Structures are given as structure tokens and as C-alpha cells.
Amino acid sequence: MNTQPLIPDTDPHRLAAAIGGHNLIAGQLVRAASGRTFPVVNPATGREIASAAFSDAADIDRAVGAAARAQVAWAAMPARKRGALVSDCARLLAEHVEELGRLVALETGKALRTESRVEAGVVADALQFYGGLASELKGESVPFHPEMLTVTQREPIGVVGVIIPWNAPMMLMALKIAPALVAGNTVVVKSAEEAPLAVLRVCQILNQKLPAGVLNIVSGFGPECGAPLVAHPSVGKVTFTGSVETGRIVARTAGEKLIPVTLELGGKSPMIVMDDADLDKAVAGAVAGMRFTRQGQSCTAASRIFVHDKVHDAFVAALKARVDALKMGDPLDEATDIGTIISRGQLAKVLDYIESGRAIPGAQALECSTLPTHEDLRQGLFVRPVIFTGVDNSCRLAREEIFGPVTCVIRFRSYDEAIAAANDSHFGLAATIWTRDLKTALDATKRLQAGFVQVNQNIVVQPGLSYGGIKQSGLGREASLEAMLDHFTHKKTVIFSMT
Ligand code: NAI
Ligand code: MG
């Protein structure tokens, strides 16, 4: 445990320069064993803001070793004491919300007011939620035999490997590390190469409260750093959020090792707007659900919006007007609603999808809002949000995860047709239905193939509610008590013979 208190630093450039280039292992900020680093770039300007440790198998081995050594004492601590420490972490993080919001805005290009500061708040909330659940790590008594006392108990798995993406790095990390730690595991996080700084800072803050080695974080690329974490013989469980493609690679290695894995993968989440829906509410729900303020970089993005023929044109006009009203600009400016795409590679991918949509006969690409003109942002990875109309569910735009500010509004005439199209996807993460008719709403909640279904609203993942996908959207659930019990413990059956 560090004794020097960390003072919040709301100058993200200074903070980035100060912590960049490090991993955090056994409570210490350390360089990669090889001494190598890679640049961290501000996507709004194209300028390098810091470096990050380019970690490889040697660093992973060091971090996993520290985690394994710390795990015995951590697991031996009374559960509520672990929970209390995680709750202390939440309180400490709450003091750093502004700092963390600014740092994540700088490295990811997500607007501070609409996204980054909000994410920083959710991190503290997730830790608070799990900190209070420690006493729920209970087993059962089983009426197996009158002369035997039979019980089950929950035990930690050991060292958990956590692999996270860049779109909501702090929040996605918190939803994994909090239940893992409370359940008595220790953790090694592998951050996303595009966003290694804010998550490192979060771990540094948490290490003020946690014993050394309980929470470690390393930065680096997938093949060099992520793969050895999954493959390490002392890692007993891996939890991953990212692409389907990488999820399969992670699952393959976990399969070889026969260790459990949780996967939160992509989505192509449908939204069905019936002709009796409250249209204003539905349009607002589409803007929120599509995460236009995060440039659509969300696994839950409502990227297929099925709208009844009778209200289609009015819906499209209202949606366009709302997205037009969002201001694109410097992510750190309080006036900005929409920041940038994360990286040049993602930008190229998004632009390619937009081109593919324009080439569809009869398709219309409605470009929204306006690009910022400020000189400083000339190299920024900005792209105007696009609403496609005149397309159907069979095009690439409707089948593949774009992870950009691009949505399709698809016209339908019958409810059954809309349900069938919504379910015609290899993803199954989230879905919404918008209608005033209770019977239709209830029927849709039964028929929509997704892990998270909502009626007349489109809220995001919430501590306390199980979250995760079916089909290729993933394996397992996060954010709830059951997620902690099912995915971060194993159940031991114990039988006492009384005879
Ligand atoms: P990715 O799945 O390749 O990266 C996610 C994490 O996995 C990163 O930390 C990365 O370094 C790590 N990783 C990569 N290769 C690995 C390997 N062989 N072993 C272990 N870890 C590895 O996603 P990427 O390249 O950032 O984005 C590509 C697409 O993935 C996006 O366009 C989007 O469609 C999807 N995506 C989905 C996310 C979600 O929230 N479900 C988040 C990020 C991306
Ligand atoms: Mg990748």
C-alpha cells in the first residue's frame, strides 16, 4: 500500500506525461522489462501526449507472479473486509472523477461533458456496488443425507486476467475488477493500446487502498501482451471485452487450458419503433441508444432502427434534426457533444462502411452536424454522424458492427416482419421496442433474441442488472451479483460424515 496520498491533477497533459510509460506491478509504477514504449496519441489533434510501456511476456510473468503471491492473503481476509476496502476505493475514486474524466477525454477523444466525466462517475459507482456485496458470497446447505452435513462454499478462482478495449476503458475495467477482487481473486489487467492512461491512473488510485500485488496493470498490444496473459499457467480465468474475432482467439487459448472465460463482444442492436410509439421519446432514445455522443463506439449501439412505414418519414426528420443539433468539437471543451473516433484505423473502417452504404442503389446517406473548423483540430479524427435510409437488413451496414456514428433506419410494414428482421443477425446483445400497446411490448420482450431488452427506453449497463449477450455477442454476464458468483468463484461441495 502506498502511503503518499495522490493529489488529483486536472491538467490531463501533465498527468499523462507523469504516469505514461509505466506498468503498475506489486504496488509500484515500473517500466517494461525491455525498456520499450509506444506513443499515446490525442485523436483530436494527432499529437503524442505520452508514452506507454510496451509490455511482453516477461512483464506479464512479473505481474501474474505478483498477483499469485498476493492472492493467498487476500483470499484469507474476511470477505466483508475485502468489500470494505473496495468501498474505500470507490470513495477515493469519487474524489478523482474530474481528473479521470479529463484524462480519458484526452486519450480517447470522447467528449468530456457528455461521455468522459460520466464514465469516471460510473467507475466509482461500480466499485461501490460490489463493495457492498461481499457478504453475499454464500453457499448452501444440501439435504443430501441425514447422517451427513453437506454444504457448498464459494471460493475464489485465483489470478484473473482482465482484457479491456478502449471505448469505455475505465467503466469496462471496473465491471470486471470489482467483482473479481471482492470474491477474493487478484487481478492482472491488460489495457487497450489506444487508451492505456486513465485505467493506469485508476489502478494507481486503487493501489492506495489495496495491498500490493492485488491489482496490477500492464499496457501493450494484443499478440505481445494480451496473448501471454491468457496463456499464462497461473491465470485461472480470463474476462474479455472487445471484438468477436479477438474473443475467439482468447476463448481458443482458454479452451486449451480448460479455464473459464467471460466474453463481452460486439452487437448490432435493433430498435423497433411501432406506429403507436411516442415518437419524441423514441427519437431521443435513438440518439441515446446509438451513442452518437460517443461516435457510436459502443457495443450496444442501436445501429439498426426499424421504423413503421406510417411514422418512418417523421421519425427520420426528427432524428436528423436532433443529431444536427449535437455540436462536434474539442473533447475537452464543455460545449462539445461529440468528439472523435479513437484511431486512424477505426476511422478508415468507418469511412469504408459509409462508402459501402452510399453505393447501395436507393440508399440515402443523411450527414448530420458539422465538422469543427478550429485550426488545432485539423488533424483530428472527426467524422460526421450518418443516418442511412432506403436500406434493408441484408446490407453490410446492417449486418456488421461498424463501431462508428452510422445507423440504418429500416422501414417495415408489419410487426412480425420487424421482429424477424431484428432477430436476423448473428449478434444478440441488446434490443428495444417502442410502442404504447402493452400486449405488443410484452410479446416483443419474449421474442427478441438479446441479452438485454427494454421497452420504451434505452438505458445503458447498470450495476445490479445482469448484462451480456447471446449468439456471437458473448458468453456470460456482467454487472450483477450473479455475475460475481457465477464468473469469479467456483463452488466447492463439502460433505461431513457424522457416523
Ligand atoms: P480487439 O478485440 O482487437 O481489442 C480488444 C482488446 O483485446 C485490446 O486490449 C487488445 O489489445 C486485445 N487483444 C487483441 N488481440 C489479442 C490477442 N490475440 N490476445 C489477447 N488480447 C488481444 O478490438 P479492436 O481492434 O480495438 O477493435 C476492432 C473492432 O472490435 C471494433 O471496430 C469493434 O467493432 C469491436 N470492438 C468491440 C468492443 C465492445 O465493446 N464489444 C470494444 C472494442 C472493439
Ligand atoms: Mg484488434
pLDDT tens figures, 144-164:
999 999 999 999 999 999 999
* Mean pLDDT (whole number) for 346-374: 98
Grid cell for residue 321 = 434534426
Q: Determine the pLDDT at residue 4.
A: 74
Q: What is the DSSP string of 417-463?
A: HHHHHHH-SSEESEEEEE-S-HHHHHHHHHH--SSEEEES------T
Grid cell for residue 336 = 462539445
Q: How far is the CA of 336 from the centre of ligand 1 (A)?
A: 27
Q: Which of 167, 216, 214 is nearest to 190 (CA)?
A: 216
Atom in ligand 1 nearest the alpha carbon of residue 349: 32
Other Cβ atoms less than 10 A from the Cβ of 255: the count is: 10
C-alpha triplet 488, 493, 495: angle, nearest 5°: 160
Atom in ligand 1 nearest the alpha carbon of residue 229: 20
Percent of the chain having pLDDT more than 70? 99
Note the maximum CA span of the chain: 83
Ligand 1 proximity of 253 Cβ (cutoff 6 Å) = no
Q: In this predicted model, what pLDDT tens digit does every residue of 428-485 receive, in sequence order? A: 999 999 999 999 999 999 999 999 999 999 999 999 999 999 999 999 999 999 999 9
Atom in ligand 1 nearest the alpha carbon of residue 298: 40
Q: Determine the pLDDT at residue 3.
A: 59
Atom in ligand 1 nearest the alpha carbon of residue 172: 40
Q: Determine the pLDDT at residue 407.
A: 98
Q: In this predicted model, what pLDDT tens digit does every residue of 27-69 receive, in sequence order? A: 999 999 999 999 999 999 999 999 999 999 999 999 999 999 9
Say if residue 422's pLDDT is above 80: yes
Tell me which ligand sits closest to the C-alpha of residue 343: 1
Ligand 1 proximity of 260 Cβ (cutoff 6 Å) = no
Q: Which residues of 327-354 are buried (b: 16+ CB within 10 A; e: fewer)?
A: ebbbbbbeebbbbbbbbeebbebbeebb
Q: Which of 143, 236, 230 is nearest to 490 (CA)?
A: 236
Contacts of 261 (CB under 8 A, 6+ apart): 237, 238, 239, 240, 250, 251, 254, 475, 476
Q: How far is the CA of 400 from the centre of ligand 1 (A)?
A: 15
Q: Which residues of 392-411 are buried (b: 16+ CB within 10 A; e: fewer)?
A: ebebebbebbbbbbbbbbbb
Say if residue 217's pLDDT is above 70: yes
264 labelled catalytic? yes
Say if residue 301's pLDDT is above 60: yes
How many whole angstroms separate alpha carbon 354 and alpha carbon 407? Answer: 10
- Three-state DSSP state, 387: strand
Q: In this predicted model, what pLDDT tens digit does every residue of 369-378 receive, in sequence order? A: 999 999 999 9
Atom in ligand 1 nearest the alpha carbon of residue 401: 34
Q: How far is the CA of 265 from the centre of ligand 1 (A)?
A: 9
Q: How far is the CA of 308 from the centre of ligand 2 (A)?
A: 37
Q: Determine the pLDDT at residue 198.
A: 98
Ligand 1 proximity of 120 Cβ (cutoff 6 Å) = no
* Mean pLDDT (whole number) for 415-419: 98
Q: Contact 336/330 with Cβ under 8 angstroms?
A: yes
Query: Which among 264, 400, 401, 478 is annotated as catalytic?
Result: 264
Q: Which of 212, 85, 238, 83 is nearest to 158 (CA)?
A: 238
Q: In this predicted model, what pLDDT tens digit does every residue of 155-200 receive, in sequence order? A: 999 999 999 999 999 999 999 999 999 999 999 999 999 999 999 9
Find the DSSP H helices in 258-298.
Answer: 279-289
Residue 110, judged by CB atoms within 10 A of its CB (0-12, 13-18, 19+), counts as: buried
pTM of the model: 0.98
How many whole angstroms separate alpha carbon 394 and alpha carbon 400? Answer: 10
Q: In what order do the strands lie in the sheet with 474-475?
A: 28-30, 23-25, 215-218, 186-190, 159-163, 235-241, 261-264, 474-475
Q: Determine the pLDDT at residue 262.
A: 98
Contacts of 136 (CB under 8 A, 6+ apart): 481, 484, 485
299 labelled catalytic? yes
Ligand 1 proximity of 246 Cβ (cutoff 6 Å) = yes
Q: Which of 492, 493, 488 is nearest to 158 (CA)?
A: 488
Ligand 1 proximity of 223 Cβ (cutoff 6 Å) = yes
**Residue whose CA lies nearest to ligand 1 atom number 22:** 222
Atom in ligand 1 nearest the alpha carbon of residue 253: 19
Ligand 1 proximity of 460 Cβ (cutoff 6 Å) = no
Query: Which among 89, 203, 299, 395 is annotated as catalytic?
Result: 299
Say if residue 2's pLDDT is above 70: no
Grid cell for residue 76 = 484469507
How many whole angstroms separate alpha carbon 261 and alpha carbon 248? Answer: 11
Q: Which of 59, 199, 221, 243 to mutate to test the pocket of ligand 1 (most atoms within 8 A of CB)?
A: 243
Q: How far is the CA of 230 from the centre of ligand 2 (A)?
A: 15
How many whole angstroms separate alpha carbon 22 and alpha carbon 43? Answer: 21
**Residue whose CA lies nearest to ligand 1 atom number 19:** 227
Q: Which residues of 365-377 are buried (b: 16+ CB within 10 A; e: fewer)?
A: bbebbeebeeeeb
Q: How far is the CA of 165 from the centre of ligand 1 (A)?
A: 6
Grid cell for residue 33 = 522489462
Q: How far is the CA of 377 from the centre of ligand 1 (A)?
A: 26
